[in-house]
Amino acid sequence: MKSFLLLLTGLLFGMRHAFDRDHVAAVTHFVSLEPDPLKSAWFGCRWAIGHAMAVLLLGSLILILRLKFDPAFERYAEMAVGISLLILGVWRLTLLAQERSHEHRHAHPTKKHTHPHSHEPGSRHIHWFAPTLVGMVHGASGAVEVLVLIPIGMMATAWLAYTYIGLFSLGCAASMSGYGYLAGRFYHRASQTGRRIYRALVILTSSSGVVLGLIWILRNLPR
């Protein structure tokens, strides 16, 4: 019963951990670029895969090599999260400036004409590994050490510890995929309602991500 309750705690921790503000901000950038519910759920899942990979790696270092991380590791990992949020926010704002119809003028021997080039939401392709890489950065940050790495260090067997990590990651993936789906529906509705509403929403969320990234960096600078 004690082991069952411990594993259930890992699952619930993972479900709650997914909704940390830095995680939500990161996935929202990808969702807003291709606002389709199913694609958005897949963004959340891909982010969670990267998160799980980092947690599994760090957990294995503790379980197998019995390593203890220096407190500076957590600080630099948190700074990496802030940098990733800053880059994602600036990247999304830059793409927003291009999300409009462009006309490219071409010269021909007899006449000149224009070709429209669309940058509407969903017309761009996001690299498969981008959400996963961001998830790996977030998985290495200090919150994981509190929720996962300390508990597994106190477990009696490696099997129990790895099961805990698996359930934690499963809960995190379920929550973030669900968030992605709902956010995708929201952004999809906003993009259909009107371009101004959609653009204002992206500006708001992207700017918030930039501010959050700066705060994350400043509060973890060496003193």
Torsion sign (Cα): 40, 78, 127, 203:
positive
Note the pLDDT of residue 215: 95
pLDDT value at position 5?
A: 87
CA atoms within 13 A on the CB side of 136: 8
Distance CA 92, CA 76 (A): 24
Residue 114 and residue 104 in contact, taking contact as beta carbons nearer than 8 Å: yes
Q: Which residues of the chain have pLDDT under 50?
A: 101-108, 112-119, 122-123
Region of 157 on the Ramachandran plot (φ > 0 left; ψ -120 to 50 alpha; else beta):
beta
Instruction: Count other Cβ atoms within 10 Å, centred on residue 142.
Output: 18
Q: In the prediction, which pLDDT does 132 show?
A: 95
Q: What predicted TM-score, i.e. pTM, was given to this entire model?
A: 0.84
